[in-house]
Amino acid sequence: MLNHYFIRPTTVDRIRSSWIGEAIERYVIWLEAKSYAKRNVFVRVPILLRFGQFAHDAGAKRWEELPAHVDSFVQAWLGRHGREYSELQRQVAARGIRNPIQQLLRLVLPPENGPCLPDPFADSVPGFFEFLRQERGLRDATLVQYRHYLQRFQAYLRQVEQPLLPDLQLSVISAFITKSGETVDKRSVQSLCSIFKVFFRYLFRMGFMKRDLGKAIESPRRYSFSNLPRSITWSEVERMLQKVDRRSAVGKRDYAILLLLVTYGLRSREVGTLMLDDVDWKHDRLHIRGRKAGHSTAYPLATPVGEALLDYLQHGRPQTKERAVFIGAFAPYPPLRPGAVSQRAKWYLRKSGIKVPRPGSHTLRHTCVQRLVDSGFSLKTIGDFIGHRTPDATKIYAKVNIEALREVALGDGEEVL
């Protein structure tokens, strides 16, 4: 199989001579079976070769020992090649390095070996994630947040050469929280602080630490209704939609996604999990199942939305056995993830030159709600329409009349007043 991609016999010999050469060749076969483009092989194989050599130099002798060296390899690679990168560029580069390694490990390691990448602090603090599952009953989506922040904290401790146990200084925790606040919003910092409180309370409870550092962690305050909705005007929505190139398959898909977001105020997760069976063409109905509020909603299928969906399904959607409506544009053509849905909305907002705090799919959700408020619908009706859990979630839209305030700001405001 390697001969199909690499012309020089010496290159093939070098790959096969690696102690993980067999695993790499199996991975290349898997890439071809999943219809990955050839360029993926040329980019990923050198990364895997370097990772194999790195792990071997660090003492790894069996494939089962490889997962323990993933994070250190990524950090070492960034140290050599990413010195001039911004924080965002480093995150993107890290994903590009880590993804092929994780795919390789999932392919060659049997399931009984457990997850390819250990939970953060699994060696020093065993049982924490089991505690979250069993005692606290947290969902997998919440555990993802715990892993994300604790993995970043684990990497930070390695960077500053500070051990977690037995007595981590509170100043180190404060420095990490402050640094995180430079790249994320206040809500995310609050989540980080909440996770830290649970984590350090567990360390104290289990006797790993002599004092409960969680008590000294203070979350930034956020006040109810302190922020304005992140809506945009309808003329800006039209400008954004005009930026979509509907001649391409990706453009057909993105146009349908944007219409769903702004017409029904759907969340990115609700768009990402939309199935072919959820579109009832016979009765012109759109079913949104498993909403955040724990119920399902059936909408009339608006003509522009139906036409955009039909155009994508007939002329843009890749041939796949997946039942999800929206599919990734590249092999192996997986269902589009909620994060990707939000990123596409963000990309078109920026392409249109629309300035809005934290652009993304929720910008269009806010726009849908604000349009309903301006049309005179009751907050109860609006909350039911967009799937709010409680009326309090809808109250913020009654705080101000965005369009009226714009008129006051741009003119003398006499007609409005």
Q: Which of 202, 216, 122, 213 has the alpha carbon at shortest distance from 167?
A: 213
Residues of the chain above pLDDT 90, percent: 34
- Residue 33: helix, strand or coil by DSSP? helix
Query: 230: buried, middle or exposed (CB in 10 Å: 19+, 13-18, 0-12)?
Result: middle
String of b and e for 132-158 (b: at least 16 CB within 10 Å)? beeeeebeeeeeeebeebbebbbbbbe
Q: What is the DSSP track for 107-145? A: HHS-GGG--SSPPTTTTTSTTHHHHHHHTS---HHHHHH
pLDDT of residue 115: 44
397 counts as catalytic: yes
Q: Does residue 318 have a cis peptide bond before it, meaning omega lies within 30 degrees of 0?
A: no
Q: What share of the chain is helix, strand, coil (3-state, %, to 5)?
A: 60, 5, 35
User: Mean pLDDT, to the nearest integer, of 368-387?
Assistant: 80
> Which of 292, 295, 315, 358 is labelled catalytic?
292
246 counts as catalytic: no
What is the tens place of the pLDDT at every residue in 19-47?
Answer: 999 999 889 888 888 778 888 889 999 99
Lowest mean pLDDT among 266-270, 320-324, 370-374: 370-374
Cα 56 to Cα 65: distance, rounded to the nearest angstrom: 10
pLDDT of residue 148: 86
What is the tens place of the pLDDT at every residue in 194-250?
Answer: 999 999 999 999 899 988 888 888 887 765 555 556 788 889 999 999 999 999 999
pLDDT of residue 415: 52
> Which of 252, 253, 344, 388 is labelled catalytic?
388
pLDDT of residue 113: 44
> Which of 246, 252, 267, 269 is labelled catalytic?
267
Cα 75 to Cα 82: distance, rounded to the nearest angstrom: 9
> Which of 27, 149, 312, 397 is labelled catalytic?
397
> Which of 44, 69, 362, 366 is labelled catalytic?
362
User: Mean pLDDT, to the nearest integer, of 147-157?
Assistant: 89
148 counts as catalytic: no
> Which of 253, 365, 366, 371 is labelled catalytic?
365
362 counts as catalytic: yes
Cα dihedral 382, 388, 389, 392, rounded to 10, equals -70
Cα 150 to Cα 156: distance, rounded to the nearest angstrom: 10
Cα 208 to Cα 211: distance, rounded to the nearest angstrom: 9
**pLDDT > 50? residue 114:** no
- Residues pairing with 286 in the sheet: 279, 299
C-beta separation of 135 from 128 below 8 A? no
**pLDDT > 50? residue 120:** yes
Amino acid at 163: P
38-57 and 9-17 are packed helices; what angle lies between their axes, rounded to 10 degrees? Answer: 40
Q: Which of 264, 272, 255, 355 has the alpha carbon at shortest distance from 311?
A: 255
| Domains contained in the chain, CATH given | 2-113 (no CATH), 128-216 (1.10.150.130), 234-410 (1.10.443.10)
365 counts as catalytic: yes
The residues, ordered by sequence, that sit 6+ positions from 105 with a Cβ below 8 Å of its Cβ are 66, 67, 70, 116, 117
